[in-house]
Amino acid sequence: MESKAKTRYLAILVLVIISGGILMPNLGQVSFWDSDEARYAECARNAIEHGHWIVPYYNGHPRIVKPPLMVWLVALSSLAFNGGKVNEFTSRLPSVAAGVGTVVITFLMALTILASETLAFLAAFILATTFLFYKQARFAITDMVLLFFITLALYAFHQFVTQGRKGYRWVMYLSLALATMDKGPAVGLVLPGLIFLVYLWAQGEMGKIRSLLYPPALLLYLAIVLPWPLLLGKKYLVVFLWKNNVERFAENPRWKTPFWFYLVDFPPHFTPWIAFLPLVGTAIKKSREQLGELTLPLVWFAVTFVVFSLSDTKRPSYILPLYPAASIITAWAIGKGLEMKEELSAAWRLSLGLFVVVMISYSLGLVFMFIRHVPLYTPTATAALGLVLIMAAFIAFTAKLKNFQEGLLLAGASALALSLGYTAFYQPTFDRYYRSPKPYCLDIKTRVGDLPLYHYGSIRSYDIFYIGKGRISSLPTKRRPQGPFFVMTKEKKLDSLLKRYPDLSVVKKYPFRDKTIVLLKNPGEASSPNLKINKEKGWRKSSL
């Protein structure tokens, strides 16, 4: 028993090192890509600097479309590791910690379900080296924290239902409460609750619902979840619960997606392990009478996939909660493949062959993105190096297809190299040459100084965070700002802006991604009480 415990702890330590090694490189060197990242960072900065802890503030207004847990985590991370200064590293650290924690919980869950430390380790490793997982775990948004608490809640539920460990009910309700405080009751409570119910029904154990509804632990859930909406009152019910949960699920005209969206979207985001789908399908078909151990992962995957497919609003990250289940199912199928070599040899060969195709396609995609967007001084050398690595992997794979264990090890090594290449090389390089808004934002910050800055058309969240003025308002249309001021807009809006405000002059243009940001200034000489607005001709002097 002691040696088994040591082996288990060693496996967890190795998984922490692997997942942390994938997620941590250049964490603070890559600027905010996802617009929600900068929103949470800005809300956290407002909490620290202005005391907006209960009601998050963004761009001068309350932001209650999401509960405040992620804001609190980013703020606490910044206080603990950077003296209260919010930056990319401190903002993303909670997501990285949640990602590493999810890998560990997946290992423990797979260990209980598959009863094999090797397969449990493989399941956690698959999760850690899956594209969407390590991509989202490096974003300062709610998805990875939500995934951690949902996975922990399902693990606690499984421990209670299958092992009779009553103490895990407290862990389950605590996890559900924190998941709710991260993204709301729709995915923090209702989604895991549906998985619980379908699993108990599938197992013929609906009678356990009564013992699952443990009043003291349920009170713990309510004590954590209720204070925030009670403080907000009707606004919470209307803005958050109704508009951002019910309406977005049932009907979202601004974000129409077909019901089959995830059928197309899931495979590339489960790269490279989606290549083992033929093995998974064949193993399930050959072992239909022995699927009892796999009931929870199958239910977990199916319920999550169906629920979000029915939703009118879909994003790739929304089905992230099913990724641990997909990893456990894939590890189980690989275990069956090694156990039933003769029966599953054709599926093994096909899966390993597809793995080669997936790796080549993914690598070529990265090379293509570099050649298209990154003006490196040696783009040809970059592409050539990538192709050499691809061909080396292809030759190695084709030489090992007959030896499934060696093929699996090579697949794992390739997946690890790909994930490390993405986080340590691709992201920071691509950010530096194409995606980073920081250079133009910091230049605007220096030029504007203490003068007012307005936007015309729209403003991005990373502009607000990096420029650091706290609030960038839309340029007023009814009352002209007094004194000198700056305006930022997109080049396509420039003609329209200058027709309305002909006294503005262009200060600088900033090429950014596939558009151009323009900074303009009003010198302030014409700003006087002798100005009236003319809706057709713009601003002019009045005749007094």
Question: Both tokens of residue 17?
Answer: 């090192």
Of the candidate ranges 393-402, 407-416, 461-470, the one whose mean pLDDT is the lowest = 393-402
pLDDT for res 530:
36
220 pLDDT exceeds 50?
yes
**pLDDT-derived band of residue 222, with 50, 70 and 90 as boundaries?**
very high
Of the candidate ranges 380-384, 527-531, 540-544, the one whose mean pLDDT is the lowest = 540-544
CA distances from 52 to 62, 68, 71, 90 (A): 9, 10, 10, 18
**pLDDT-derived band of residue 252, with 50, 70 and 90 as boundaries?**
low
Q: Which residue type does 235 have?
A: K
539 pLDDT exceeds 50?
no
DSSP string for residues in 240-251: IIIIIIIIHHH-
Of the candidate ranges 49-58, 281-290, 462-471, 533-542, the one whose mean pLDDT is the lowest = 533-542
* Pairwise CA distance, residues 167 & 214, whole Å: 11
Does this model's pTM top 0.85? My answer is: yes
* Pairwise CA distance, residues 45 & 538, whole Å: 37
Question: Both tokens of residue 262?
Answer: 């995830």
Residues 425-453 have pLDDT tens digits of: 888 888 888 888 999 999 999 999 999 99
**Rounded (10°) angle between helices 35-50 and 88-114:** 110
| Ranges 52-61, 389-398, 527-536, most confident | 52-61
Question: Both tokens of residue 520?
Answer: 């303009």
Other C-beta atoms lying within 10 Å of the C-beta of residue 20: 16
* Pairwise CA distance, residues 467 & 110, whole Å: 46
pLDDT for res 386:
63
**pLDDT-derived band of residue 421, with 50, 70 and 90 as boundaries?**
confident
Tell whether omega for the bond before 272 is within 30 degrees of 0, i.e. cis. yes
Mean pLDDT score of the chain, rounded to an integer?
87
pLDDT for res 392:
62
Question: Both tokens of residue 307?
Answer: 């629920």
Contact between 240 and 181 under an 8 Å Cβ cutoff? The reply is no
* Pairwise CA distance, residues 485 & 385, whole Å: 50
* DSSP designation for 482: P
Residues 347-385 have pLDDT tens digits of: 988 898 888 888 878 877 777 777 777 665 555 555 555
Contact between 154 and 300 under an 8 Å Cβ cutoff? The reply is yes
Cα torsion angle, 118, 119, 120, 122, sign:
positive
Mean pLDDT confidence for 472-490: 88
How far from chain centre, in Å, is Cα 151?
15
Q: Residue 416: which of 128, 58, 40 has the closest Cα?
A: 128
pLDDT for res 227:
92
Contact between 103 and 109 under an 8 Å Cβ cutoff? The reply is no
Q: Residue 86: which of 67, 58, 65, 60 has the closest Cα?
A: 58
* Pairwise CA distance, residues 65 & 36, whole Å: 12
Contact between 539 and 524 under an 8 Å Cβ cutoff? The reply is no
pLDDT for res 393:
66
Residues 377-393 have pLDDT tens digits of: 555 555 555 655 666 66
CA distances from 320 to 12, 105, 130, 311, 315 (A): 22, 15, 11, 15, 10
pLDDT for res 98:
98
* Pairwise CA distance, residues 181 & 174, whole Å: 11
Residue written as token pair 């199912």: 329
pLDDT for res 542:
30
